[in-house]
Amino acid sequence: MRKSRTVARAALAAGTVLVLAACGGSPTSPSADSGDNADSGPTKAEELYEEIGGLSGQERRDRLVELAAEENGLNLYTSMNADILDSVSEAFTDTFDIDVNVYRAGSETVLQRILQEQDAGFPGNDVVETNGSELGALQKEGVMAQCVAQELIDQVPEAGQSEAWTSTRFNLFAPSWNTNIISGDMVPTSWEDLADPKYDGQLALELGDYDWYLGLTDLWLSEGKSQEEIDQLFADMVDGAVVVKGHTVMAELMSAGQFGVAASNYSYIVEAAKAAGAPVETQPYVSPVIARPNGGSCMKNAENPATAMLFMDWLLEEGQQVIADLELTPAIAEGDALGGAELVAVDSERLLEQGDEWSAKYDELLAGAETIE
């Protein structure tokens, strides 16, 4: 059985176009299906996506396996954490005996690499899996094509469906608490609870969670609160709170009892700490849970389009259990994974277009609070 190969690269230097072998080698000359020909009609990959799109179930799987055997593995660009990536790529390889050649970097670096390669006419990836905001940017550029089986898309919450990409997992922002410190009526049951003075000296906010700030602001506006009321709720949260840099550090400090409640940690980090024996909890979830979708898509000019489709379908079928086993929140969950809580997604498009503005607002909100790094 062939093994997956994971290749991590340093960030791209400004203005540099990297087209060499991060994923088994990009083409050495512009492809007929490169971005330069995006308006000349459907690419060969798009023609295949259209052809296979009429198939479903085992017939679709069998045809994709047959076609993928004639291709040259999978070129995946992703911002997955290394442990997630290793589990996903190894499981895919074990299932289909297909090499997965990976370029892994931060979401912004992945985005820039794809755009640079597309502009240069040297596309290097078949599939991209990254944050929803970066996928939104790629969708605007018109370089991705929806390739997931419709019956799988229909099982994904609406918040994880888009024209050219599909959510594969969600990062959930949820209040969490140290069970040795917080119990009974001190356990938060709403987002508004976090503004209660009873949490003064016990609440922590994460330094970079402006996306959560945007999502919660939008939620409260949709519920009829005025901007003035919302601003006061956030101000009351910050009053008496500490600011922590990093979600993992936040979980570690809360586990150690340095504060009782974390306003917006990722649920999977808290669940992992709990599984390791830490006295922490995040359930029952405060509802609605605020989510950031992560997802994937096939590229319009994929070199290995059948393998790309096979991977995306697999990731939304068997791959969902791989994701769940890592204490992450799969896009297609069995049963009621949120315990009855509603899920609302951060507006990926607004986050992309207005991220700097919301980051600055959040920095201003936290100014003056004690920061722990």
Across the chain, which has 373 residues, the per-10-residue mean pLDDT values are 35 27 34 46 94 96 98 97 95 98 95 97 97 94 97 92 95 96 97 97 96 96 98 97 95 98 95 95 94 96 98 98 92 79 87 92 95 85
pLDDT reported for residue 7: 35
In a shared domain, residues 132 and 29: yes
* Pure H helices in the chain: 44-53, 57-68, 82-96, 107-120, 132-141, 150-153, 210-222, 227-238, 247-255, 267-275, 305-315, 318-325, 348-366
Q: Which of 267, 291, 268, 286 is nearest to 341 (CA)?
A: 286
* CATH label of the domain that carries residue 300: 3.40.190.10
Total domains present in the chain: 2
- DSSP line for 209-225: THHHHHHHHHHHHHTT-
In a shared domain, residues 111 and 129: yes
pLDDT reported for residue 32: 38
Cα–Cα distance, 248 to 292 (Å, whole number)? 17
Instruction: Look up the domain containing 76 and give its range.
Output: 5-168+294-330
In a shared domain, residues 230 and 260: yes
Model's pTM, two decimal places? 0.80
pLDDT reported for residue 40: 66
pLDDT reported for residue 359: 95
In a shared domain, residues 139 and 14: yes
In a shared domain, residues 218 and 182: yes
| The two three-digit tokens of residue 19, written as one number | 């087209």
In a shared domain, residues 157 and 144: yes
In a shared domain, residues 216 and 348: yes
**223: Cβ contacts below 8 Å, ≥ 6 apart:** none
- 281 strand-pairing partners: 177
In a shared domain, residues 137 and 219: no
In a shared domain, residues 220 and 325: no
pLDDT reported for residue 352: 84
In a shared domain, residues 298 and 365: no
In a shared domain, residues 74 and 98: yes
In a shared domain, residues 208 and 312: no
Cα–Cα distance, 219 to 212 (Å, whole number)? 10
Q: Is the peptide bond before 157 cis (omega within 30 degrees of 0)?
A: no
Q: Which of 258, 229, 224 is nearest to 244 (CA)?
A: 258
